[in-house]
Amino acid sequence: MASPAIFAPPQTPMVQPPPSIGACWRDFSPEIIVHCTQGVQWKIEANWPAVYAELEKRLIASPEIQAGAIGTMAIETARTFEPVREAYWLSEEWRANNLRYYPYYGRGYIQLTWDYNYTNYGSIIGQPLYNQPDLALEPDIAAAVFAEFFGQSGAAAAAARCDWAECRRRVQGADAGVSELIAICTCLGYP
Protein backbone atom coordinates (compact mmCIF):
# COMPACT_ATOMS: atom_id res chain seq x y z
CA MET A 1 0.00 0.00 0.00
CA ALA A 2 1.25 3.45 -0.92
CA SER A 3 1.99 6.09 1.65
CA PRO A 4 -0.81 8.70 2.11
CA ALA A 5 1.67 11.49 1.29
CA ILE A 6 1.87 10.25 -2.30
CA PHE A 7 -1.82 10.97 -2.73
CA ALA A 8 -1.76 14.40 -1.06
CA PRO A 9 -3.00 17.19 -3.33
CA PRO A 10 -0.23 19.20 -4.94
CA GLN A 11 0.74 22.37 -3.15
CA THR A 12 -0.15 25.58 -4.97
CA PRO A 13 3.08 27.50 -5.55
CA MET A 14 3.29 31.05 -4.28
CA VAL A 15 2.90 33.32 -7.28
CA GLN A 16 3.78 37.00 -7.23
CA PRO A 17 0.86 39.17 -8.34
CA PRO A 18 1.39 40.95 -11.64
CA PRO A 19 2.92 44.42 -11.22
CA SER A 20 -0.29 46.15 -12.30
CA ILE A 21 -2.01 45.12 -9.04
CA GLY A 22 0.29 46.99 -6.63
CA ALA A 23 -0.34 50.39 -5.04
CA CYS A 24 2.16 52.00 -7.37
CA TRP A 25 -0.26 51.36 -10.25
CA ARG A 26 -3.36 52.72 -8.50
CA ASP A 27 -3.16 56.13 -10.19
CA PHE A 28 -1.26 55.32 -13.39
CA SER A 29 -1.15 51.89 -15.03
CA PRO A 30 2.00 50.76 -16.81
CA GLU A 31 0.13 51.11 -20.09
CA ILE A 32 -0.78 54.76 -19.39
CA ILE A 33 2.81 55.55 -18.41
CA VAL A 34 4.05 53.91 -21.63
CA HIS A 35 1.52 55.87 -23.68
CA CYS A 36 2.41 59.22 -22.09
CA THR A 37 6.20 58.79 -21.95
CA GLN A 38 6.95 56.46 -24.86
CA GLY A 39 8.94 54.38 -22.39
CA VAL A 40 9.33 50.60 -22.50
CA GLN A 41 6.69 48.82 -20.43
CA TRP A 42 8.84 46.12 -18.85
CA LYS A 43 11.41 48.74 -17.77
CA ILE A 44 8.68 50.91 -16.28
CA GLU A 45 7.24 47.88 -14.47
CA ALA A 46 10.71 46.99 -13.18
CA ASN A 47 11.73 50.46 -11.99
CA TRP A 48 8.73 52.66 -11.15
CA PRO A 49 7.59 50.60 -8.09
CA ALA A 50 10.80 51.36 -6.15
CA VAL A 51 10.61 55.08 -6.94
CA TYR A 52 6.93 55.14 -5.98
CA ALA A 53 7.72 53.32 -2.70
CA GLU A 54 10.38 55.91 -1.84
CA LEU A 55 7.99 58.78 -2.63
CA GLU A 56 5.33 57.14 -0.48
CA LYS A 57 7.83 56.61 2.36
CA ARG A 58 8.42 60.38 2.33
CA LEU A 59 4.67 61.10 2.15
CA ILE A 60 5.01 62.74 -1.26
CA ALA A 61 3.16 60.27 -3.49
CA SER A 62 0.05 62.26 -4.45
CA PRO A 63 -1.10 61.73 -8.05
CA GLU A 64 0.20 65.17 -9.04
CA ILE A 65 3.62 64.48 -7.55
CA GLN A 66 3.67 61.04 -9.18
CA ALA A 67 2.92 62.67 -12.55
CA GLY A 68 5.84 65.06 -12.06
CA ALA A 69 8.09 62.21 -10.94
CA ILE A 70 7.12 59.99 -13.88
CA GLY A 71 7.77 62.83 -16.32
CA THR A 72 11.05 63.72 -14.63
CA MET A 73 12.18 60.10 -14.61
CA ALA A 74 11.35 59.79 -18.33
CA ILE A 75 13.33 62.93 -19.18
CA GLU A 76 16.30 62.29 -16.90
CA THR A 77 16.76 58.69 -18.10
CA ALA A 78 16.13 59.39 -21.81
CA ARG A 79 12.91 57.35 -21.48
CA THR A 80 14.80 54.22 -20.41
CA PHE A 81 13.33 54.33 -16.88
CA GLU A 82 16.62 52.82 -15.73
CA PRO A 83 19.39 54.50 -13.75
CA VAL A 84 21.78 56.02 -16.29
CA ARG A 85 25.08 57.85 -16.43
CA GLU A 86 25.14 61.41 -17.69
CA ALA A 87 25.90 61.38 -21.42
CA TYR A 88 25.61 57.57 -21.27
CA TRP A 89 26.20 57.33 -25.01
CA LEU A 90 29.71 58.79 -24.55
CA SER A 91 32.79 57.26 -22.95
CA GLU A 92 34.14 57.65 -19.44
CA GLU A 93 37.16 59.32 -21.00
CA TRP A 94 34.87 61.91 -22.59
CA ARG A 95 33.20 62.57 -19.21
CA ALA A 96 36.62 62.93 -17.52
CA ASN A 97 37.77 65.43 -20.14
CA ASN A 98 34.57 67.44 -20.48
CA LEU A 99 32.65 67.55 -17.22
CA ARG A 100 34.05 69.99 -14.69
CA TYR A 101 32.42 68.09 -11.82
CA TYR A 102 33.97 64.73 -12.81
CA PRO A 103 33.89 62.11 -11.25
CA TYR A 104 30.69 63.37 -9.62
CA TYR A 105 28.73 63.55 -12.87
CA GLY A 106 25.06 62.69 -13.18
CA ARG A 107 23.96 59.20 -12.27
CA GLY A 108 20.65 57.58 -11.44
CA TYR A 109 16.99 58.17 -12.21
CA ILE A 110 17.64 61.84 -11.56
CA GLN A 111 21.04 63.13 -12.54
CA LEU A 112 22.76 63.63 -9.19
CA THR A 113 25.80 65.86 -9.80
CA TRP A 114 28.64 67.54 -7.88
CA ASP A 115 30.63 66.15 -4.96
CA TYR A 116 28.58 67.97 -2.31
CA ASN A 117 25.36 66.35 -3.57
CA TYR A 118 26.95 62.90 -3.50
CA THR A 119 28.06 63.62 0.08
CA ASN A 120 24.70 65.08 1.16
CA TYR A 121 22.37 62.51 -0.39
CA GLY A 122 24.67 59.65 0.49
CA SER A 123 24.53 60.73 4.12
CA ILE A 124 20.74 61.09 4.05
CA ILE A 125 20.09 57.66 2.56
CA GLY A 126 22.95 55.95 4.41
CA GLN A 127 25.12 55.07 1.42
CA PRO A 128 28.78 55.98 0.73
CA LEU A 129 27.97 57.80 -2.54
CA TYR A 130 30.91 60.18 -2.25
CA ASN A 131 33.42 57.31 -2.09
CA GLN A 132 31.49 55.08 -4.51
CA PRO A 133 29.54 57.33 -6.92
CA ASP A 134 28.49 54.37 -9.07
CA LEU A 135 26.24 53.22 -6.22
CA ALA A 136 23.84 55.89 -7.52
CA LEU A 137 23.26 53.53 -10.46
CA GLU A 138 21.86 50.75 -8.24
CA PRO A 139 18.06 50.81 -8.72
CA ASP A 140 17.07 50.88 -5.02
CA ILE A 141 19.68 53.50 -4.21
CA ALA A 142 18.76 55.52 -7.30
CA ALA A 143 15.11 55.40 -6.19
CA ALA A 144 15.95 56.70 -2.71
CA VAL A 145 18.12 59.49 -4.17
CA PHE A 146 15.37 60.41 -6.64
CA ALA A 147 12.67 60.69 -3.97
CA GLU A 148 14.89 62.51 -1.49
CA PHE A 149 16.06 65.00 -4.11
CA PHE A 150 12.56 65.46 -5.53
CA GLY A 151 11.29 66.35 -2.07
CA GLN A 152 14.20 68.46 -0.82
CA SER A 153 14.70 70.42 -4.04
CA GLY A 154 11.13 71.72 -4.05
CA ALA A 155 10.29 69.77 -7.23
CA ALA A 156 7.62 67.77 -5.39
CA ALA A 157 6.03 70.94 -3.98
CA ALA A 158 5.95 72.45 -7.49
CA ALA A 159 4.46 69.22 -8.87
CA ALA A 160 1.78 69.26 -6.15
CA ARG A 161 0.73 72.68 -7.55
CA CYS A 162 1.01 71.36 -11.15
CA ASP A 163 3.65 74.02 -11.77
CA TRP A 164 5.57 71.91 -14.25
CA ALA A 165 7.98 74.65 -15.32
CA GLU A 166 9.06 75.19 -11.71
CA CYS A 167 9.21 71.42 -11.11
CA ARG A 168 11.60 71.08 -14.04
CA ARG A 169 13.71 74.06 -12.97
CA ARG A 170 14.07 72.55 -9.48
CA VAL A 171 15.52 69.41 -11.04
CA GLN A 172 17.42 70.67 -14.06
CA GLY A 173 18.31 74.20 -12.99
CA ALA A 174 16.95 75.82 -16.16
CA ASP A 175 14.21 75.35 -18.73
CA ALA A 176 15.52 72.34 -20.69
CA GLY A 177 12.80 69.72 -20.83
CA VAL A 178 9.96 71.93 -19.59
CA SER A 179 7.78 71.42 -22.66
CA GLU A 180 8.40 67.67 -22.49
CA LEU A 181 7.43 67.55 -18.80
CA ILE A 182 4.29 69.58 -19.50
CA ALA A 183 3.33 67.22 -22.34
CA ILE A 184 3.81 64.10 -20.19
CA CYS A 185 1.94 65.50 -17.19
CA THR A 186 -0.89 66.75 -19.41
CA CYS A 187 -1.17 63.29 -20.95
CA LEU A 188 -1.30 61.83 -17.42
CA GLY A 189 -4.26 64.16 -16.71
CA TYR A 190 -2.53 67.05 -14.94
CA PRO A 191 -2.37 70.16 -17.19
Q: How far is CA 101 from the centre of its chain?
A: 23
Domain CATH code at residue 169: 1.10.530.10
- The pLDDT score that the predictor gives to residue 142 is 97
What is the number of alpha carbons within 13 Å of residue 187 lying toward its C-beta? 17
Residue 25 lies inside a defined structural domain of this protein? no
pLDDT in tens, 40-55: 999 999 999 999 999 9
Inter-residue contact 58 to 17 (CB < 8 Å): no
Question: Is there a domain that residue 133 lies in?
Answer: yes
Please determine, for residue 14, whether its predicted confidence score (pLDDT) is greater than 90. no
Contact between residue 81 and residue 43 where contact means Cβ atoms under 8 Å apart: yes
Tell me whether residue 57 is in a domain: yes
Q: How confident is the model at residue 191 (pLDDT cuts 50, 70, 90)?
A: confident
- Residue 16 placed within a domain: no
H or E element that contains 54:
helix 41-57
Q: Answer whether 61's CB lies under 8 Å from 24's CB.
A: no
Domain count, the chain: 1
* Average confidence score pLDDT of the chain: 90
Q: Say if 119 falls within a structural domain.
A: yes
Name the band, by pLDDT with cuts 50, 70 and 90, for residue 175.
confident
Q: Is residue 19 part of a domain?
A: no
Range of the domain at 73: 39-187
